[in-house]
Amino acid sequence: MKLLIIGGTKFLGRHIVESALSDGHEVTIFHRGKTNPGLFEEVNNIYGDRENLEDLEKLAGQNWDVVIDTCGYKPSTVSRSLDVLAGFTKKYVFISTISVYPDFTGVPDLEETAEPMTLTKEELQQAEHKETFDPSLYGPLKSHCEQEVQTRMKDKSVIIRPGLIVGPHDPTDRFTYWPSRIAEGGKVLAPGRKDQQIQFIDARDLAEWIVHLSATEHTGIFNANGPENKLTIQKFLETCASTLNEAVSFTWIPAPFLMEEGIQPWKDLPVWIPTDKDFSQDASKAIQCGLKFRPLKETILDTYHWDQHRSHGDRGAGITRDQEADVLKKWQRLQKH
Q: Is the pLDDT of residue 124 over 80?
A: yes
Task: Tell me, yes or no, whether 206 lies in a domain.
Answer: no
Q: What is the DSSP string of 285-331?
A: HHHHTT-----HHHHHHHHHHHHHHS---S-SS---HHHHHHHHHHH
> What does the pLDDT read at residue 26?
97
What is the distance between the alpha carbons of residues 309 and 152, in angstroms, rounded to a whole number?
43
CA distances in angstroms from 225 to 153, 232, 270, 292, listed in the order given: 25, 14, 16, 10
> What does the pLDDT read at residue 103?
76
**Same domain assignment for residues 105 and 251:** no
pLDDT level of residue 264 (50, 70, 90 thresholds): very high
**Same domain assignment for residues 184 and 126:** no
Per-residue pLDDT of 34-92, as tens digits, reads: 999 889 999 999 999 999 999 999 999 899 999 999 999 999 999 999 999 999 999 99
Taking a C-beta distance cutoff of 8 angstroms, is the pair 243, 205 a contact? no
CA distances in angstroms from 289 to 11, 145, 177, listed in the order given: 23, 23, 32
**Same domain assignment for residues 135 and 238:** no
Per-residue pLDDT of 7-28, as tens digits, reads: 999 999 999 999 999 999 999 9
**Same domain assignment for residues 192 and 142:** no
**Same domain assignment for residues 56 and 193:** no
Q: Which domain holds residue 157?
A: 2-162
Task: Tell me, yes or no, whether 94 lies in a domain.
Answer: yes
**Same domain assignment for residues 117 and 242:** no
What is the distance between the alpha carbons of residues 263 and 281, in angstroms, rounded to a whole number?
25
**Same domain assignment for residues 187 and 300:** yes
**Three-class SS state of 162:** strand
Q: Is the pLDDT of residue 106 over 70?
A: no
Task: Tell me, yes or no, whether 288 lies in a domain.
Answer: no
Mean per-residue pLDDT for 174-182?
A: 96
CATH number at residue 70: 3.40.50.720
**Same domain assignment for residues 31 and 113:** yes
Last residue of a domain, one of 116, 139, 162: 162
Taking a C-beta distance cutoff of 8 angstroms, is the pair 198, 226 a contact? no
Task: Tell me, yes or no, whether 73 lies in a domain.
Answer: yes
Mean per-residue pLDDT for 94-112?
A: 87
> What percent of the chain is modeled with pLDDT above 90?
87
> What does the pLDDT read at residue 314?
67
**Same domain assignment for residues 266 and 144:** no
Task: Tell me, yes or no, whether 214 lies in a domain.
Answer: no
Last residue of a domain, one of 106, 139, 162: 162
**Same domain assignment for residues 183 and 252:** yes
Task: Tell me, yes or no, whether 271 lies in a domain.
Answer: yes
CATH number at residue 307: 3.90.25.10
According to DSSP, residue 156 is labeled G
**Same domain assignment for residues 108 and 255:** no
Mean per-residue pLDDT for 323-336?
A: 94
The angle subtended at Cα 153 by Cα 148 and Cα 154, nearest 5°, is: 100
Per-residue pLDDT of 179-238, as tens digits, reads: 999 999 999 999 999 999 999 999 999 999 999 999 999 999 999 999 999 999 999 999
> What does the pLDDT read at residue 277?
83
**Same domain assignment for residues 113 and 184:** no
> What does the pLDDT read at residue 279?
85
pTM of the model: 0.96
